[in-house]
């Protein structure tokens, strides 16, 4: 699945920008609070407005402190998937329960320096694992291939039936990097600048999808 990130869109034209990626699978919505990450974007009222006009289900990535307080609201507002950061959660399983009870898939995100092994037990309660391939906070950063062993390990655990998860990668995904991520086992690819920075976002999505499909098949 390809999930364009609205972080790289024109914030003055969010409805049009959502329409431009109508053939994507999820629309990635990066919520930043200026505390968990040193950047500030948009929150629930903007998500509710975008959800009403988006042809694509929303994938909300909460880069915020105290996610237990806010995450269920995004699910109630109709997000398809709501992802919280492991580093910000006192009790990730409780957050997953609340997100699912409010009707969304529950995602757990880990920063590049956060070990996967610390969260293997709690991942049984999640639907999505988001492996950050840059430090969270900004679009347009350089992909970190050193994170891919975590994707490979998670793919093994999914393929052997120990976990049932979408494996999402986020940060620096482009035509130059998506094959490595797909080969490692990712199946959801967030792309901000590579989609919204392209002259034709629909073409960029199709090209990314084709590259990922070939790499996965190989
Ligand atoms: C970064 C965000 C990403 C960002 C990716 O903290 O979580 O979703 O939009 O942007 P690119 O694809 O440009 O790295
Ligand atoms: Zn993101």
The tens digit of pLDDT for each residue in 126-141 reads: 999 999 999 999 999 9
| Structural domain containing residue 115 | 2-217
pLDDT number for residue 154: 98
* Choice among 25, 170, 187, 199 that is catalytic: 170
Report the distance separating Cα 62 and Cα 108, nearest Å. Answer: 10
Question: Mean pLDDT for the chain?
Answer: 98
Instruction: Answer yes or no: is pLDDT of 218 > 80.
Output: no
The enclosing domain of 9 has a CATH number of 3.20.20.70
Question: What's the pLDDT tens digit per position in 13-28?
Answer: 999 999 999 999 999 9
Q: Calculate the dihedral angle through the C-alpha atoms of 136, 118, 151, 204, rounding to the nearest 10 degrees.
A: -20
Query: For 121-130, what is the mean pLDDT?
Result: 98
* pLDDT at 174 (0 to 100): 98
Q: Which pLDDT does position 175 carry in this prediction? A: 98
Task: Give 29 Cα–ligand 1 centroid separation in angstroms.
Answer: 10
The whole-angstrom separation of Cα 187 and Cα 198 is 22
- Structural domains counted in the chain: 1
Cβ 109 under 6 angstroms from ligand 1: no
Whether 44 has a pLDDT exceeding 80, the answer reads: yes
pLDDT in tens, 45-104: 999 999 999 999 999 999 999 999 999 999 999 999 999 999 999 999 999 999 999 999
What is residue 38's predicted lDDT score, i.e. its pLDDT? 98
**Protein residue whose Cα sits closest to atom 10 of ligand 1:** 139
Ligand nearest to the CA of 5: 1
pTM for the complete prediction?
A: 0.98
């Amino acid at each position: 699945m390809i999930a364009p990130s609205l972080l790289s869109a024109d914030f003055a034209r969010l409805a049009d920008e959502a329409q431009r990626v109508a053939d994507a699978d999820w629309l990635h919505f990066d919520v930043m609070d200026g505390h968990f990450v040193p950047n500030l974007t948009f929150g629930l009222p903007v998500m509710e407005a975008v959800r009403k006009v988006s042809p694509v289900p929303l994938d909300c990535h909460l880069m915020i402190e105290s996610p237990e307080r806010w995450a269920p609201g995004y699910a109630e507002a109709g997000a398809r998937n709501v992802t919280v950061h492991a580093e910000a959660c006192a009790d990730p399983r409780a957050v997953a329960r609340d997100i699912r009870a409010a009707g969304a898939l529950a995602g757990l995100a880990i920063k590049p320096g956060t070990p996967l092994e610390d969260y293997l037990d709690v991942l049984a309660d999640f639907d999505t694992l988001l492996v950050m391939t840059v430090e969270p906070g900004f679009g347009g950063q350089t992909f970190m291939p050193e994170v891919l062993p975590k994707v490979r390990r998670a793919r093994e655990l999914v393929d052997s039936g120990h976990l049932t998860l979408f494996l999402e990668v986020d940060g620096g995904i482009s035509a130059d990097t998506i094959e490595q991520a797909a080969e490692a086992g990712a199946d959801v690819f967030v792309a901000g600048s590579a989609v919204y920075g392209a002259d034709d976002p629909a073409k960029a999505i199709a090209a990314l999808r084709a590259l990922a499909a070939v790499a996965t098949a190989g």
